[in-house]
Structure 1
């Protein structure tokens, strides 16, 4: 785009953001494929429906006049299909009650996933052993209650994901859940009691038993998981013999008791009392020394602003918070608080400069909080905290950061520096003043007054072209990764002052803990991951298609990215809603009305819409390759 075209890339006034389309999950290309056994599937689903209360109007299109599946397309609400078979039911938030007829579901021999989240089902756990084909079961946010039989999940050999959160289950956690095949397990906010079964953590990516009444030791295989997975269980502890005292207060942190707690409760020996007194005196002396150091620092340096204090308390670890910044540089932890720069020609600063900078909280994302820090010399930076990178060794983390430092492209936001600490990592980037594509598309009434509004067609096309160029570069430079970006979404596409796209939060999957990868990274919300738990290089293409449709329609997609569900199903029905609307109204009918484009521009917009749809095909062999997508997008005229 030349300078004249850059000048035309301005923003016009817009109204309210259009609402998110809710439609049924299905493939985008209808390929009729009659399959034997569909009559049995329809009959089984209708039998299942008759046992439900409040099934209509949510399931009003469940009727014998149509088949539930045509190829990969679900013709009935909430029915997920593959090759003409029913492989899943996603009946979330439909106000359903009544009985769950597992006998009817047992007829569906291809049923793999069942999601009844956020309904009003009550009573005991249904007998899922009658549906042995299940791989995923989502029952969170209901009113199920009672004790689950210990063998409730025995014989379901392919079961990998179970979510029973926010119900009223009680009694012990069934040991049949502790299968080596289990990948994700959510049992939080129930009334489970007793101990935690001996889970094998080899494949566990998500595990949460917080908010229950569990007691006893945490199995060694689970102790490396995030401590928040166990919070709210007052009698849990870490050691193999750490039985809690009977008078332990219920609000003690689940990990507060450690292996140092004596097994005998008959009182403290004189030697132990002496050690406690001496330790107390030493602690008092240490506190006095720290107070003197803080006083000296406050006299020698400028007074901190409240925002500086906030930045320090958020960025420094609990141990470092008890020291003044002056002592950090001279302490034995010096190497743990030293910033590492990825380029030699970069202007250097240190952690103390960040601590003393004016700080502003930008927000919280999938990984943690982000801050804007303005140094004394006026340089503006963004500091991002990551607490989901604790499984990686120091050497492996350094190697990956150096790899990111070698990436150079005009459409990538370059990494400036990073800080390695075992419990958290800090990544530092340059601050981009024009915010993200997502902020411009969905201002929600919070757009700064100085922003023109809204983004016109030229700006949006320019952002998409810059995005695919940066994405193509990552795919060329990182051929070994399944999804070289892995986290492509509108909030991770920044816009500079000329509305050039700058991709951020790219190539994080190699360093994020496996337990958080599938929940945090957008590429894991593609259909192939929901179906098989596998990624491909076309997973980034799926994310690109979602981004294109969001950019053209102005329809927000963030609400479809919730955690702990079959993400591919949620996003695919969002896509299908746009396709159905385009078929009903014509392509122009789905475009963001505030773009106010010419007839010539509408032709190019229709071409981009079709590219976005082709990028969102659920079947990989029908989805565009990235190279083909780039070629077609580059041919679009401004």
Structure 2
């Protein structure tokens, strides 16, 4: 009896020790909050309330079960610093954890201390370095792991190849080497390893997944990708390549000689000044007067240069194929020259030359191009391939034959050719908003997801669906050149305080809306350096203030009866996006939400007077993950 009593006392002492070492959830969470560099998003985490009341959370980002914290969702809060795993490990019932869309940096946290965790989301941060091979060795309950869009290097940890894992997302990093052997009994149902540096044969246990799970890893082979080559086939391939290069060199010499003679013909030299200006303005870019000749082998460092493809859904071609292709100059703008190259195999590509990216290192440039190549949206012009030299770069994309929005708004039309009507313009701005929304999601920590949004960078396909180009180039542009030419740096906030924010692209969107509705070109875009670009916005404000709103709209915008009210709504959206004070300017999600609500014809509701337009009337809410992603029961 005495022995049983002694054991009971010892057990009680141990239980008391562990409970006191854990502390309650409130104390643990407050300690974690204090470990963050910027915890302003967690202002309601304070000692005056408890984190949970039963199953009801009282603090931001929590899910509760029986008064305990079971799920922590701290997404898109601009959190920085190092994730304090030691503190979080003291939460006894923590099952799901998400820090997606933040700015945490440093190495992979020591998450194996969270042995009860079932779901871990760390995607879209700045975590880097190699992950230890045993990083997940003690996480026997882990079901979902998301590490996408960080900067991890080295091999994929073998401890990830666990049978119970059902979802794995590691795309958009720099993992290299072979994929570890997942067991044949793996329970994986979702997998994404795209856009890394993996190589070797895909394990048979993963061959059931779609090829999109592995795209962007040029060294991978085997089902569902192409079959792995034998050494004999490689030898034959090398011989074929050598022969092809010799033939190509001979062809280049002959074609270059013919082209040099042909380039001097009067028909090609005969272009009037107005046509050249329209090409510069309408096709891609404008502002730079320098004329350039098409790229040549000498300019690109010889014929041995290599094109790097960032997409697997395009037919491969070599740099020599571009050199042999017939080239047509589309424009010479602030970034450089653009050419239409028709390959001998048939497709037409656009080659853009950039000389103002010399300050970015080779590895950083390659990484950013791979990231651009991983983007996929119907309203973005996909990057197909790139060529790297320190002095200049080539970006290769598809050719869009219907020209740019700028050319349709401001270029000369053929006799009888109608201008863009209201339904078409509405379709265009909705597509632009969708493309921008995608960029905002893909670049959550980049201040300027686009950075150069203007009508000449909105291409139109044959159905007048808009396709954005020259997006997300700010990280690789030389800073001085970007500040001279890029649209974002002509914004009011950069004029006033040399700063840009997440709302700067919203200002560019507002200017584009006003240009689309008025048919007037924001002329200050042509000025180097700080331009303000306030001319168009000021003019629209002055007209609306004088109650001449009907005078604002482009006379060519016809074709829909009873559409004036919806046009006015879009005009008001543009004005709210062009608010000079960035603090009062609409948030991007707010603008997109209101754009998508627009219709071709007026509704039965009365249209507000423009003077009473109040952006506070419009709210929005969005969340990257749904509750279904955190649906693990505490006990299951």
TM-score (norm 1): 0.49
Q: Which has the higher contact order (CA 8 A, sep 6+)?
A: 1
TM-score of the aligned structures, taking structure 2 as reference length: 0.49
Is the radius of gyration larger for structure 1 or structure 2? 2
